[in-house]
Amino acid sequence: MTNPMLKKQTQTTQQHGVTLLELMVAMAVSSFIMLGISNIYLSTKKSYVIHDEFSRIQENGRYATETLSTNIRNAGFFGCASGQGLGTIRNGLNDTEEGAWNFETGLMGYEAVGTDFNDPVTTIDPTIQGGPPASWVTAAGLTSSGTAIAVNPDAIISGLAVIGSDILIIRTSEGTGTRIQANNGAGNVFIDDTGTVVGGCPDGSNMVSGLCRFDILLVSDCSNSRIFQAGNLQAVGGGPGNCGGAASCVNVTHPALAAQNPGNNDVVWGPPGNVFSSDAEIMKVVTKTYFVGINPALGITEPSLYVRENESLLPTPIVEGIENMQVLYGVDTNGNGVANRYFSANDVPDTDADSDTVFEGVVSVKISLLARTPQNLPGINRTAADFAALTYPMVSPASPITINPFQPGSTDRRMRKVFNLTLKLRNKSFNIAN
């Protein structure tokens, strides 16, 4: 009879562990599996980064084109004053030769020297801002008031703008306007009191009836119109000469404002154009200058689309990654309202030979924006030959304006995309009386 204990001991001694060969095979298989998982992870991460960067470039490009489209369509809109003829609008501001304060055209611009569509490929350096004002020129010329618009932009813009990128100026109104109750022409305009927002203005003062002190304003009854800079905004009670029979209103003064920019040159409004009917309105008007720039002083080293309102000392970046902007102006040369030819800002012709700004003949614009990804992309390696051959055709009336953003020795691994738009101007410009 077999001893059960002996059988159990025999079975135990017949068990074996994992051999070295089996262990090596298992490790090899595991390594291949881990290598595959790592490759999948790295490929997925690379794909995610690329798609994320492309999403950013699409988002930035769409936002920039939408911002420009909205403002360009509104260029020259000043309520019922839009399109008024010579002698009906009086500009009471000082320094009307400066682009921010000359409202004779709703849209004009400055051409970056060397980027005309007749010029060869233009190499830019989008990482360096600033240049002499002469790096940009315009054909704006004289205005109907006999005041010359500056041929070059001022130092604030030229100090931030990327050389080789155009500058676009848009003049328009903001808000819906407020109805006038009465005016006495001696330094006061009385408007509806629609409420006060305490501290609602950029300087911390109160916003009254949607206006702030020192705003640039247009008052118009569709027959007479006048541009001025607001002084104090003070709620007053009704009475003779004040609110036109209303219980209360807001007194908008227009003093000289010697310490403000630009200030008023006619404090007491005399005829003509000093009396406005009861259906007149007052609205804020603004000049917006768009350009591509960099501001390292604020820690902004990425080229961005900037906007400067009036003559602000600190233009605001609104869209990052915009590297270049090219603008062409469509001119109606035969009076049918359709652009017959497109010109750079320095070549816009005077279509009527009158003593007014040449941009009054512009009926549409073409704009190209060159946008880049915020970061270098993985897996992109470019040789010196690649950099030399990689250019970006932008707005092209006959031959393209071709931009090369790569400098010698560049290690740039960003992707880029050109966004194009063509827009018709909705509002004709108006002429300013002396």
Query: What is the residue extent of each domain of the chain?
Result: 54-424
Quote the pTM value.
0.85
Spatial CB neighbours of 58, under 8 Å, sequence gap ≥ 6: 417
Tokens of 158: 């030229």
- For residue 260, what are the contacts with CB-CB under 8 A and spacing of at least 6? 214, 229
- The phi and psi torsions of 33 (rounded to 5 degrees) equal -65, -45
The angle subtended at Cα 78 by Cα 153 and Cα 367, nearest 5°, is 50
Q: Of all helices (H) and strands (E), which one includes residue 421?
A: strand 416-424
Residue 331 corresponds to which amino acid? V
Residue 434, pLDDT score: 46
Distance of CA 103 to the CA centre of its chain: 18
Residues recorded for the chain: 434
Return averaged pLDDT per consecutive 10 residues of the chain, 434 residues in all.
55 64 80 78 67 85 94 87 63 83 86 84 83 88 65 90 94 84 71 86 87 90 86 78 75 86 84 74 92 87 92 91 93 83 88 70 92 84 82 76 83 89 78 50
Residue 148, number of CB atoms within 10 A of its CB: 12
pLDDT at residue 409 in the model: 79
Residue-level pLDDT at 356: 60
Q: Do 145 and 113 form a contact (C-beta atoms < 8 A)?
A: no
Query: Which amino acid type is present at position 21?
Result: L
Tokens of 354: 């009158």
CA distances from 242 to 20, 212, 252, 421 (A): 104, 20, 11, 49
Q: Is 411 helix (H, G, I), strand (E, B) or coil?
A: coil
Q: What pLDDT shows up at residue 244?
A: 67
